[in-house]
Structure 1
Amino acid sequence: MKQRLRNEFYQLVREDPDIFEFIQTSSLDGVWYWNLENPEEEWMDSRFWYALGYDDDSMPQESLAWQKHIFPDDYDKTIENLQNHLIDPMYPYDQIIRFRHKNGSTVWMRSRGKIIHDKNNKPVRMLGANLDITSAMNLSEQESLLAASTRALPVGHLIEDKFGNILNANDAMANWLGYTSEEMRTMHVLDLAPDELKPKTQQMINDMGGAVVDGITSLKKQYRHKDGHLLWGLLNARIAKDQSGNVRYIVASVLNIETEKELQGQLHQKNLELMRANKELDKFAYAASHDLKSPLTGIRRLTDWIYEDCKDILPAASKRHLDLLDDRVMRMERLLDDLLAYSRVGSTYTDTQEINLEKSGQAIIDLLDGAKDFKLIANNKPFTIQRIPFEMVLRNLIDNAVKYNEDKHGVISLDYSLDGDDYLFTISDDGPGIHPDYKEKVFDMFVRLKSNDQIGGSGMGLSLVKKIVESHGGSVRIESDGDSGTNVIIRWPRSVNES
């Protein structure tokens, strides 16, 4: 029956031109017929020229016509194959040729041919057929490029079927887990999961394979190395569907974050150690302050007793000496208080409260010695800030403005504005000012612009201000010409709640 149908088909092709036309248009992209006795004569099917973007009627039926559109390298290969086929008919005339399309793009053709001999076995004609394989070649080229790119990626890459069977793994993924790519193509994703994560991993596969979710984004999870130890990776995965909308593949990338996890662990440990050290330092500072204050308190009581018992017989010079001793004790106590406050900066006071400069500033002035004759001009618009450290800054700056004003009266101004995500505070006074040469030096510890006898205090006020401001992410600077007052400019970041 097979032979009968074959003969019938051949007969049909010989007798019915429509059948040949159907075969030609349905399965081929051009038939050609070449006169080897007169090589300039060649007939090219219209479908060939159509594939190159030309109208058949405008193209000459000669062999030189198609030769003008072939890539030179491929032309040489075509002639070589033709010569081999002429010498040995068993050598196939079958090659892939590139042609230049009318629009400049490349058209890939598979060209096959067969020599026809006369009764004397002389080659007289050649029959051939072309098949446009451009789409397949472009796809193959894209697949090769994608495969090369995937292999070269430093990030692990997996392709799985919708059931979690690994179809492909790039070198980065395989090497990271101690396998070869070939080994991984025989594995299931569950083989890479720690035992305790297998149920969750299976659920993720089910959800993506069943199109319940489109993918997974930035999931930190552990993978099992071939030798059994666990590694941390950052997983991103997406599903790929066919034209019918069915899930075919799960495509995943895994970034090695083992170093990041190790650093996070080290950082966490260092933070714990730092917290312990801060607690110990806080205890030490408090104990040291208390232990140092105790003898000072005893000295003060002793001077008070001496004064009470002997005030009627003490010479004036001795009374001055006792007053001076009492002043030194008070100054030492204040220094210890400032040192304790300085040691605690940055470790507490994170809560924010609503305050305004007018109320806070006036409350500070009311409590300061010698400040009753100073006038306060302040912005009374409320704002939210870490109240305790900010008022500590404000108290030190107002205290300095009062202490260093030789007239013992003056004007202190407090203002603020918003500058992006920051508060911008300006604390101004009309005192003697600070010489430009000292605008940075005054922030050092124990620095005074006047002697201890002229100005009380520990000399830590501005250094404490700077430490508090900088510990909250801000900055402080001084504007002064050294003759007419001082402006202290503070930039203080607003917290998330404030902005």
Structure 2
Amino acid sequence: MDKKKQSGIAEFNISAYDQAEFNDLLFENMPDYAFVKDESFKIVKANSAFLSMYPVNIRHKVIGFTTVEDYQPDEAELFLAMDKIAFEQGYSETVETITFPDHRIRTLLTRKKRFEAIDGRTYILGIATDVTEREELIEKLRKSNDDLDQFAYMASHDLKAPLTAISKLVSWIDEDYRDELPAGAIENFELIKSRINRMTQLLNDMLTYSRVNQTPHEKEEFSFKDLVLEQFDMICIDKEFDLSCCELTVSLQKDAIAIVLRNLLANAIKHHHLDHGNIDVTIEEQKGFYFIKVTDDGPGIDPQYSSKIFEMFQTLKPRDQQEGSGIGLAICKKIANHYAGDITLIDQPNGTSFLVTWPSVPTQQPPFKRIK
């Protein structure tokens, strides 16, 4: 039995005449603005959606015209630039904000493809999709993110000065009058110091988080093991932890990956149920990505919190029980995403394991640019 019949796929056969009629049906009824231009840039075919852009009284000047006959030469040149690219290179694509003939301002994603007709003449088929609402939403989200980043940057900067002053004042009082203070007051002073340290860490983490999108994408070659050991030595001071790490020379954004490693190593130590333990860091490269795994033998994290832990200010324990800003993993997530990578919690029976994916080859640039 025929494989298509076995799979339930119906065959659709139409004659040459029906094919042309079917193509016209598709062309006419697509919701996008569709048109065909000849090598003189004149419109030889357009669907109803395209023609509807023009007021009724001038629609007779669309088919057979370039529609830029009344433009100044430099304006006409700019308007036809993507047409020329399509004819020369076979394809063009752009996002452009234009004023329609009926005076509406819209943003279009326009694709143009060169093709050859049966008579041997060359044309371009243009399909323009209205993406105004999408672009406006993207712009609003971008502005909102910029405003939040700016707020975090200013807040962390502006709050650091008074916080430093409070820290110094508390230290002076503690040094000068510690012997005269009752036990309860000394205990409260220690609590104040703890809160000041927590606030300082929070502000530093907020500043790091707000600056992620401003970090450069330049890569440099370095020893991954050396970087891991360097970050580990910075944070493992008063606890006994054994670290194992494989050796590999990598080409990565060193400063960015250092922040991610530092936060993951700090988490492994800080959230361990003992003052000693083991941390294993591995890295391998395959299919255009580095796969970095940081594993510890601590108490582990319940899989139900696998998404929550990457949110801002989220901690699995009250801050009175566990010091921390609750931003560390959010910073790791934002940095990894910024470089087209990701970080996830790996489900395992014992301990905690995070997997970081990071591109080892340049990420593809956006396929089009905005032309105003």
TM-score scaled by length of structure 1: 0.53
What is the letter of the counterpart of residue 422 of structure 1? Answer: F
Equivalent residue in structure 2 for 1:492, among 345, 350, 358: 358
Q: Helix, strand or coil: the match of 1:312? A: helix
Greater relative contact order, per chain length (Cα 8 Å cut-off, separation 6+): 2
Report 1:443-462 matches (<5 A).
443-462=310-329
CA offsets 1:442-466 (integer angstroms, 9 cap, x no match): 4444444455455322233334333
| 2:267 counterpart residue number | 400
Using a 3 Å threshold, how does the CA distance of structure 1 residues 451 and 480 change in structure 2: closer, same or farther?
Answer: farther
How far apart are the structure 1 equivalents of 2:237 and 2:192?
21
How far apart are the structure 1 equivalents of 2:306 and 2:147?
35
Q: Helix, strand or coil: the match of 2:179? A: coil
How far apart are the structure 2 equivalents of 1:236 and 1:417?
41
Tell whether 2:126 aligns with 1:255.
Answer: yes
How far apart are the structure 2 equivalents of 1:224 and 1:466?
40
| 1:476 counterpart residue number | 344
| 2:90 counterpart residue number | 217
Q: Helix, strand or coil: the match of 1:462? A: helix
How high is the sequence identity, in percent, across the aligned residues?
Answer: 28
| 2:229 counterpart residue number | 362
Does the CA contact (< 8 Å) of 1:377 and 1:414 recur in 2? yes
| 1:387 counterpart residue number | 254
| 1:309 counterpart residue number | 176
Which residues of structure 1 form unaligned runs of 5+?
Answer: 1-140, 208-213, 242-247
Report 1:197-276 matches (<5 A).
217-219=90-92, 236=113, 250-257=121-128, 259=130, 262=132, 267=135
| 1:112 counterpart residue number | none
What is the letter of the counterpart of residue 344 of structure 2? Answer: V
CA offsets 1:356-384 (integer angstroms, 9 cap, x no match): 33212211122225356322211220222
Does the CA contact (< 8 Å) of 1:169 and 1:184 recur in 2? no
Does the CA contact (< 8 Å) of 2:152 and 2:207 recur in 1? yes
Q: Helix, strand or coil: the match of 2:130? A: helix
Using a 3 Å threshold, how does the CA distance of structure 1 residues 217 and 410 change in structure 2: closer, same or farther?
Answer: same
Equivalent residue in structure 2 for 1:418, among 285, 291, 304: 285
Does the CA contact (< 8 Å) of 1:356 and 1:382 recur in 2? yes
Using a 3 Å threshold, how does the CA distance of structure 1 residues 215 and 240 change in structure 2: closer, same or farther?
Answer: farther
How far apart are the structure 1 equivalents of 2:76 and 2:317?
73
Q: Helix, strand or coil: the match of 2:90? A: strand
How many equivalent pairs are there?
Answer: 334
What is the letter of the counterpart of residue 153 of structure 2? Answer: Y
CA RMSD, Structure 1 to Structure 2 (Å)? 4.7
| 2:198 counterpart residue number | 331
| 2:367 counterpart residue number | none
How far apart are the structure 2 equivalents of 1:455 and 1:366?
21
Q: Once the 2 structures are TM-superposed, how far is the Cα of residue 417 of structure 1 from its aligned partner?
A: 1.8
Q: Once the 2 structures are TM-superposed, how far is the Cα of residue 394 of structure 1 from its aligned partner?
A: 1.1
Q: Helix, strand or coil: the match of 2:247? A: coil
How far apart are the structure 2 equivalents of 1:288 and 1:164?
55
Using a 3 Å threshold, how does the CA distance of structure 1 residues 157 and 463 change in structure 2: closer, same or farther?
Answer: closer
Does the CA contact (< 8 Å) of 1:215 and 1:239 recur in 2? no
TM-score scaled by length of structure 2: 0.68
Q: Helix, strand or coil: the match of 1:477? A: strand
How far apart are the structure 2 equivalents of 1:455 and 1:229?
57
| 2:294 counterpart residue number | 427
What is the letter of the counterpart of residue 128 of structure 2? Answer: I
What is the letter of the counterpart of residue 250 of structure 2? Answer: F
